[in-house]
Amino acid sequence: MIGTSNNVFAEHAWRDRDYLIAAYHNDKPFDRFVREQIAGDLLPADSITERAENIRATGFLMVGDVEIVEPDEARMEADHIDTQVNKIGIAFLGMTLGCVRCHDHKLDDTLVLWSGEFGRTPWSQDLSGTAPIDTHGREHQPESFCAWMAGGGIKGGFTWGETDHMGYSVIDGKVHIHDLHATMLHLLGIDHTQLTWNHLGRDFRLTDVHGSVVKEIIA
């Protein structure tokens, strides 16, 4: 069935199903697999058969809850585009984009944090002393690394903290991981000193016995 308010059968949905099965069986490269489903009709083709397969791949954009019975053609087209954008967001970006059509949440109530698990040195290293130069890489850097935050009460448009000229040691505004956790919990309305769980007779905290809210980065 196509849509929710009509009785139209998706009689050619099997074409999309067969395309997916063939893609898996033929070990189609994932980047090609994605491009064909999003914009197969725009891709160049060396034969009529390849052209047909590219177009068949775009069935991804139409199979599912898509209304095709709508007197207002302009509205139906807008609905189709909205549905397709939402599908692409969910399938390939891991994001639900459909709600932005009607809502403007911005980041007032959402805290976004991006970070690596540790830093990297700004130079190449070989701790063993035996590896050839073309295999050298940037080593683990536990002394300093960056985190990016937005929304949820974070002050925007500025940088907090500073390293030395080599990007190694922190010389100003150092934020320990316990401080980061304390600040995140504070922005979520939670006192990190009160968030505990009892284990083996002791009340444990995410910030252990440390952590201070970094007030300088709060709006």
Angle at 147 between CA 144 and CA 152, to 5 degrees: 145
The domain tally of the chain equals 2
> Please, are residues 170 and 159 in contact by the beta-carbon 8 Å criterion?
no
Is residue 5, in this structure, part of any structural domain at all?
no
Backbone angles phi, psi at 33, to 5 degrees: -60, -45
Residue 4: per-residue pLDDT: 54
HSE-CB at 126 with a 13 A cutoff on CA atoms is 9
Both 205 and 179 in a single domain? Answer: yes
Residue 47: per-residue pLDDT: 94
Is residue 97, in this structure, part of any structural domain at all?
yes
Q: Helices marked H in the chain — which ranges?
A: 13-25, 30-39, 48-57, 73-88, 177-187
Domain-terminating residue out of 52, 69, 101: 101
Domain-terminating residue out of 60, 80, 101: 101
Domain-terminating residue out of 46, 70, 101: 101
Residue 1: per-residue pLDDT: 45
Distance CA 121, CA 124 (A): 7
Q: Digits of tens for pLDDT over the chain (219 positions)?
A: 455 555 666 677 888 889 999 999 999 998 899 999 999 999 999 999 999 999 999 988 877 666 667 678 888 788 888 888 888 888 877 667 766 656 665 677 788 888 877 777 777 766 677 777 776 767 777 888 888 998 888 988 889 999 888 888 899 999 999 999 999 999 999 999 999 999 999 989 999 889 999 999 998
Both 97 and 115 in a single domain? Answer: no
Q: pTM score, two decimals?
A: 0.52
Full residue range of the structural domain in which residue 25 is found: 13-101
Distance CA 79, CA 65 (A): 11
Both 97 and 121 in a single domain? Answer: no
Nearest to 137 by CA among 121, 148, 150, 149: 121
Residue 112: per-residue pLDDT: 87
Angle at 108 between CA 107 and CA 114, to 5 degrees: 40
